[in-house]
A and B are shown apart, each in its own frame.
Chain A
Amino acid sequence: MAARAPSRTLVLFNHNLTMLAREPGPLASRLVMPLVAIAVFEPLDRAAIGSRGGAVQAVTGMLVLFSMLSLALVGGSVLAERLWRTWDRLRMTPVRPLELLVGKSVPTGIVLAVQQAAVLGFGIVAEGLHARSLALLTMVVLVWSATLVAIGSALSLIARSQAELAAIQDIGSFIVTSLGGALVPLAEMPSWARQIAPASPAYWAMSSFRAAVDGNVGAAIHSGSVLLGIAAIATGLAVWRLKRSSTRSARL
């Protein structure tokens, strides 16, 4: 009678993809904004740190900044379900918490990966970014997308309202990306900021992308592993929160 686990996850994946396609506005803006920002910031970065370094900084910096800001897409999609009470309705079906999270987050993860691919593609074609290893770059895109999805899911299950989530995401994203060297190259940042930069996931994202562009496999794997660790912690937190939530979402 009951569907097997993989098909339930697939059902939820298709369902969430449909939901994203029905409201394409946020997706479109998140694809266009970073491209415009790169075009504007690239000359500044080029002037500050040279031709090649400038292009890498502008492209990877804007990629990390706007992908962090796109956390709102992940978190918002889960929180909207809680506000519509459909999250609880889904929990009343035979779906497992992990299936629910995977079905919800993979489509948004794909959107994030597409956003990053578009930014990198624009960087390569329009800004002269030269990536030594596309395979490594793809791996980093997937790891960073997974990290963002995990963080967004955890935040959306912790936040008590849309306003709280927006505040956490906006302020958090800005601080994390600033400290991570996405806005200003690390070398140009004050020493206290450089000291605490490794505490920011954006720092490891920037390191991963830079390493992938340079074709430095070891450095990319090291930074990627840190990101996967962050993703694992966030996923654990989200699943734990989902399992122990013995209250109605309507009580938000």
Chain B
Amino acid sequence: MLVAEGLVKRYGSHRALDGFDLEVAPGEVVGLVGRNGAGKTTFVEVVAGLVRPEAGRLQVAGIDALASPRQVRALAGVAPQELALYPSLTVREHLRLFAALTGLGGRSRRKAVDALTEELGLSEVADRRAGLLSGGQRRRTQAACALVGSPPLLLLDEPTVGADPDTRRALLSSVADRARAGAAVVYTTHYLAELDDLDATLAVVDAGQVVARGHRAELLAHLPSRVRVEFAAQGVGACGQASEVVEASFDPAATITRVLAGGGLPRTIEIQRPTLNDLYQELAASHGR
């Protein structure tokens, strides 16, 4: 559905995209993860036709997106990272507008708008102006504008930032439904649990490139957990050990057994599984950054 090869986009001397490659199949959810400024949003903006890259190739549904950006925009539903709503328009008016701009009219538009407000729990506030909505309701409205018309490509840039658990649940459920129906989804987030819920594959972005690709478990499998054992005061005195032992370990149980065998009364035992941040650091180190 989406093929990006060698995309380059510079802002002055900063290379926001520096040879960005990504493929997303129909029905696949790809979680774009990476530190702030890694290039995730710039990539979304390139696909959405908002930003033109200096080099590279981009195809969506077989269409050259750089030569025919308007055709690609007709296929993509976009939820930008920052809220983009009209304070004086109601939820329903927002949905009608974006439905009409993607070509829906008459009864099919009414049906799509009603279905989406129901699906995202917006029915009760459908006739309320966006300026009077809560943060979560605004997030849902923004996402609904992207989903209306069931586009085959969804570009969702941190759609749940600042959202409450209900909003998050509603959005994830809708996105998962769209993916099951065959939509290709690019989903940027800092919340890994959301990507687990969406059964997404991860594309780790660093310095404008995709530096790792795969499921979360695969990507983190080669990183050690962090084991921390803190001893009670008498234990420290009796054994003459440090009050705390911290070790990186691929087998936390064995490490804890070995540390405890040295004597002393443990007060706290912690196992910290590897996180995305550990992966970023490891990938950055391996790329010499």
Contacts and interface: CB of A to CB of B under 8 A. Distances in A.
Interface of A: 1-3, 7-8, 11-12, 15, 18-19, 22-23, 84-86, 88-96, 246-248, 250
Interface string B48-92: 111110000000000000000011011010101011111111000
8 contacts: A2-B103, A3-B100, A3-B101, A8-B100, A19-B89, A95-B101, A96-B70, A248-B45
Interface of B: 11, 45, 48-52, 70-71, 73-74, 76, 78, 80, 82-89, 93, 97-98, 100-103, 105, 145
Contacts of B101: 3, 8, 11-12, 90, 93-95
Nearest to B42: A248
A20 B98 CA distance: 19
Contacts of B84: 84-86, 88-89
Given A3-B100, A95-B101, A96-B70, 9 more contacts: A3-B103, A7-B100, A18-B89, A18-B93, A85-B84, A90-B101, A92-B73, A94-B103, A246-B51
Contacts of B82: 85, 250
Contacts of B51: 246-248
B100 to A, nearest CB: 4
Contacts of A1: 74, 102-103
Contacts of A93: 73, 98, 101-102
Contacts of A247: 11, 51
A95 B82 CA distance: 20
Given A8-B101, A19-B88, A85 B49 contact: no
Nearest to A95: B101
A23 B98 contact: no
A15 B97 contact: yes
A18 B78 CA distance: 24
Contacts of A90: 101
Contacts of A89: 78, 80, 84, 145
Query: Which of B51, B78, B86 counts the most A-chain CB atoms under 10 A from its CB?
Result: B86
Contacts of A84: 84-87
B83 A23 contact: no
Nearest to A10: B100
B74 A2 contact: yes
Given A85-B83, A88-B80, A92-B48, A22 B88 contact: yes
A69 B163 CA distance: 42
Nearest to A85: B84
B140 to A, nearest CB: 16
Contacts of A86: 84-86
Contact of B74 (A23, A85, A94, A250): A94
A92 B74 contact: no
Contact of B76 (A8, A92, A246): A92
Contacts of A96: 70
Contact of A3 (B50, B70, B105): B105
B93 A92 contact: no
Contacts of B80: 85, 88-89, 92
Contact of B50 (A11, A95, A248): A248
Nearest to A251: B11
B88 A11 contact: no
Given A15-B97, A19-B86, A250-B82, A91 B50 contact: yes
Nearest to B87: A84
A23 B51 CA distance: 32
A91 B49 CA distance: 8
- 10 A-B pairs with the lowest CB-CB distances in the bound complex, closest first: A89-B84, A85-B84, A22-B88, A94-B74, A3-B103, A2-B74, A11-B100, A93-B101, A92-B48, A2-B103
A15 B97 CA distance: 7
A99 to B, nearest CB: 10
Given A2-B103, A85-B83, A92 B89 contact: no
A3 B87 CA distance: 26
A55 to B, nearest CB: 40
